[in-house]
Structure 1
């Protein structure tokens, strides 16, 4: 394990499960088909980061929707997503064993995600992995989304762990940037972006395709 590491912080979407395509389809359904936004599917994929409310404000403007409308649209989007994705719900290859090994090595673990609390529960309860996580931080727990460091700093605080002792597992550039802003090292899983998209970040310590990669297996070898 890299020196002075006592905690692993996991993003959710694209990091624990490979579900970003289902989020993209759900957002396209809401934004382009239901609301009539002039966006291609690829443009929707570029905009679907941060909290659901932030996505809607970014595309339609600050005063376009009332608060209750945003809440209804957010709920509708997540219903589209969960209904479509549930038959395909599975952990990224190797993660079950990796979590078990980390727990056996007394590594503290948290989920630190821009997903809403309900979506985190949907994943970890259907996959029976809640017991591995000592803390959960969702979009509902922070005021500012990634790349702001608040999500990761709150997770470290809940784990009573210094930021420098955390390793973040992320799949998105804004997540890696958030980890850097929090003073944390990051392992990138290349489910959604190639290595080239992370070239500017000096906190990346490795790249993996999934959790069977020998690089992270070495995290549990004692010196």
Structure 2
């Protein structure tokens, strides 16, 4: 790599922890059993990007639920996800050492996630990794969620680092799209999507299964 990065911006779910199947099950259960949507497990998977409200509006249409009901559904879904996932909560292989290596290299780090703080705190506090990150940009901190670039541009702005000096870590095509719109290079994790599902984007510098991949050596 010609230009070494000054900052790493991490998506959370599916990128730092391999939990997307648990989100998929929680959403599918609520959408079909509780709310009566006719949507398959794979169909739900395709809709799992952006804010919880965005997902509900894609499935049911804007205005179908009151804001109070949307908030109620959202927190219920997260309670179910956390109850199912907590016993499995662990960092993706190699990430602990990668975070240490980045910190020792004086690379600034931030979280840029479409999750609500309730879920972000669940991960950062239970895994005791909050100290690595200079800032956290959550669903509540942006007007427009991914694939809009605001999550990542806001994170970079808070860090004081220009977009071209940032590397984004993402597991979802829409997240990679957000990074591309932000003018940022991206490392794509293949936890939930195969490499061919990212073919529309030209900002990916590596595909990895976990953080032990030697392709990451180019970042330092």
TM, length-normalised to structure 2 = 0.97
Aligned residues between the structures = 220
- Give the SS at the match of 1:201: coil
Deviation per CA, 1:12-46: give whole Å up to 9, x if none: 01100000000001101110010110111111111
Following superposition, the deviation at residue 217 of structure 1 comes to 2.7
Show the counterpart of 2:186.
186
Residues in 2 aligned to 1:218 and 1:164: alpha-carbon distance in whole angstroms? 16
Show the counterpart of 1:175.
175
Deviation per CA, 1:39-77: give whole Å up to 9, x if none: 111111112221111111111111211111111000100
Query: Contact 1:9/1:155 (CA < 8 Å) preserved in 2?
Result: yes
Show the counterpart of 1:157.
157
Residues in 2 aligned to 1:152 and 1:86: alpha-carbon distance in whole angstroms? 27
Show the counterpart of 2:96.
96
Following superposition, the deviation at residue 91 of structure 1 comes to 0.2
Query: Contact 1:2/1:219 (CA < 8 Å) preserved in 2?
Result: no
Show the counterpart of 1:122.
122
Query: Contact 2:5/2:219 (CA < 8 Å) preserved in 1?
Result: no
Q: Which ranges in structure 1 are unaligned for 5 or more consecutive residues?
A: none
Query: Contact 1:148/1:178 (CA < 8 Å) preserved in 2?
Result: yes
Residues in 2 aligned to 1:67 and 1:176: alpha-carbon distance in whole angstroms? 29
Residues in 2 aligned to 1:45 and 1:206: alpha-carbon distance in whole angstroms? 23
Let me know the Cα RMSD of the aligned residues: 1.0
Q: Which ranges in structure 2 are unaligned for 5 or more consecutive residues?
A: none
The runs of at least 4 consecutive aligned structure 1 residues that moved more than 3 Å come to none
1:34 aligns to 2:34 (yes or no): yes
Show the counterpart of 1:11.
11
C-alpha distance 210-140 of structure 1, shift in aligned 2 (>3 A): same
- Give the SS at the match of 1:191: coil
Residues in 2 aligned to 1:16 and 1:183: alpha-carbon distance in whole angstroms? 22
Following superposition, the deviation at residue 4 of structure 1 comes to 4.0
